[in-house]
Amino acid sequence: MFALVSPEKIQLPAGSVVRLPATWQDYQSLYDRRGDGSIPRLKYRNGEVLLMSPLPVHGKDANLIADIVKAILDSDEREYDAFTPITMTVPEESGIEPDYCFYINNWQAVCGKKRIDWQNDPPPDLVIEIDVTSYSDVQDYLPYRVPEIWLYKKQQLLIYRLQGANYQVQTQSIYFPDFDLQSAIARCVEIAYQRNTSAAIRDLKKQLAEIEEKNR
């Protein structure tokens, strides 16, 4: 299958990325043409549009890591909200679609909202990006000032924190400072690909329960 982007049709082979010079209006036109679907993924930045058709591994990893975050938050009885798919936009400047985003500290700010104003409402506390095709760039989130971004690439979790005008790699998450995320994710990924995602999350929940019992 060849990539095709025309006024009538958008068709991309799985795993492909297409980069086109474009205006904000071009991006909006492509977004409208895609309709209610979430494929291809669309991104606008610096006078160009990027289109990406994800592979199945992309979706599996995104859901697995999001389920890991939910399991840890639930274990700590912390409240949160999570969104996917979602489109974040700053008119004329940026359009981006994170794989998953979480409101943890600021969940009350979006409680009950069906639309989020990205220029006035607080950004997600945590964004998860899966990079299989070199489509993801954490610096694309600078217009939104997202505090923390997790980039999962080549079976490695990279944690980026907003520091001043850029994102910098960190060793720990500000939301889970005392939890060994790297080991937990590595174990979950191994189980998920040996068996399935549900087995991985059940194993994680068992570990979390054991940790809670030891801390009592």
One digit per residue, pLDDT tens: the chain, 216 residues?
556 666 566 777 777 888 899 999 999 998 988 876 677 889 999 899 999 888 889 999 999 999 999 999 999 999 999 999 899 999 999 999 999 999 999 999 999 888 899 999 999 999 999 998 777 889 999 999 999 999 999 889 999 999 999 999 999 999 999 999 999 999 999 999 999 999 999 999 999 999 888 887
* The predicted structure's pLDDT at residue 8: 61
**What is the pTM for the complete model shown?**
0.91
* The predicted structure's pLDDT at residue 7: 55
Using CB atoms within 10 A of its CB, is residue 5 exposed (0-12), middle (13-18) or buried (19+)?
Answer: middle
* The predicted structure's pLDDT at residue 23: 95
* The predicted structure's pLDDT at residue 169: 96
- Tell me the two tokens of residue 92: 């004329």
Peptide bond into 123 cis (omega under 30): no
Q: Rounded distance, CA 79 to CA 169, Å?
A: 26
Listed in sequence order, the residues at least 6 apart from 185 whose beta carbon sits closer than 8 Å to its beta carbon are: 65, 68, 152, 157
Q: Do 40 and 51 contact (CB within 8 A), yes or no?
A: yes
Q: At what angle do helices 181-194 and 56-75 cross, to 10 degrees?
A: 130
End-to-end CA distance of the chain: 57
